[in-house]
Amino acid sequence: MKVLVTGSSGLPGRDVLRQLDGRGISCRGADAPEFKVTDSEAVYRLVDEYAPDVIVHCAAYTNVDKAASEPATCAAVNGSGALTMSRAALRVGARLLLLSTAQVFSGEGDRPNPVSAPYGPKNVYAMSMVQAEDAVRSLMTRYYIVRTGSLFGNSKDPVRSVLRAAQDRRSLTLSCDRVIQPTWSKDLARVICDVIATESFGIWHARNSRGACTPAEFAEMVMKKSGVSCQVIPVHDADLPSHVRRPLNGRLAAKLPDGITPMPDLSDALDRYLQEINR
């Protein structure tokens, strides 16, 4: 099996490449500035030349706040980009995995969103991901859509933000009423690699289990486990400086193909991540 991973320098593309390499699977990464998903001819050329069996499409415009002022760019990267990748996959007979988000849902209620929940995007970014999912579903039959929660695993993630704030003796103002599913990118990468080894096509939900919490609660968890302290100022999501609406209920009902090991608890994932960054 040969796998092409787009967005290979970001989360979780980087970790997907490492997982594939560790399994002895032939793989190649593609990312900006050499690779632009908005350049359809370049996409077709790359896919035609490499002829992958599977494309793991992680490349995306993910800055939710900035997307509000750049809707055309966001739609071009996420929506049109997924359409181009689907067409490229069909040209070479490849399967396609699209990484998506819990933000495609409205965020109403307090129950975990099942894979069959209706769309209800609240912002430009979320709408672009609905367009991406629709593009894949409309063109392909051999596809996987994997929705996940709020990823951590790099220098700009919420975990490092708490650690930096503690070191600098700064406070953090965080939502106390928006529920997210923090997910370690390494655990997600393992699931992605497990999924593409099957022919269990369709939509799946992958996130660390027992981890639904508010951003303020997640910060408290990080401080407790790391032994650091900073002031967390809890506020309602609507009172945060960002004017972009996000779904208040980002819970995902986990669903993976039969035979794939469920993702570990968030507490366990956070322990392992903190150990890794403190080495």
Q: Give the residue numbers annotated as catalytic, written as ranges.
A: 125
Q: Identify the CA nearest to 248 among candidates 63, 123, 147, 135.
A: 123
Is 71 strand, coil or helix?
Answer: helix
Torsion (CA) 85, 91, 92, 97 in degrees, nearest 10? 30
- Spatial distance between the Cα atoms of 96 and 86, rounded to a whole number of angstroms: 7
Contacts of 140 (CB under 8 A, 6+ apart): 86, 89, 90, 96
- C-alpha span between 187 and 167 (Å, rounded): 27
Annotate 229-279 with DSSP letters as a single string.
--EEEEE-GGGSS------SB--B--B--TTSPPPPBHHHHHHHHHHHHT-
From edge to edge, which strands make up the β-sheet containing 143-148?
26-30, 2-6, 54-57, 95-101, 143-148, 202-205
In b/e form, how buried is each residue of 174-198, taking b as 16+ CB within 10 angstroms?
Answer: bbbebbbbbbbbbbbbbbbbbbbee
Report the C-alpha gap between 190 and 185 in whole angstroms: 9
DSSP β-bridge partners for residue 79: none
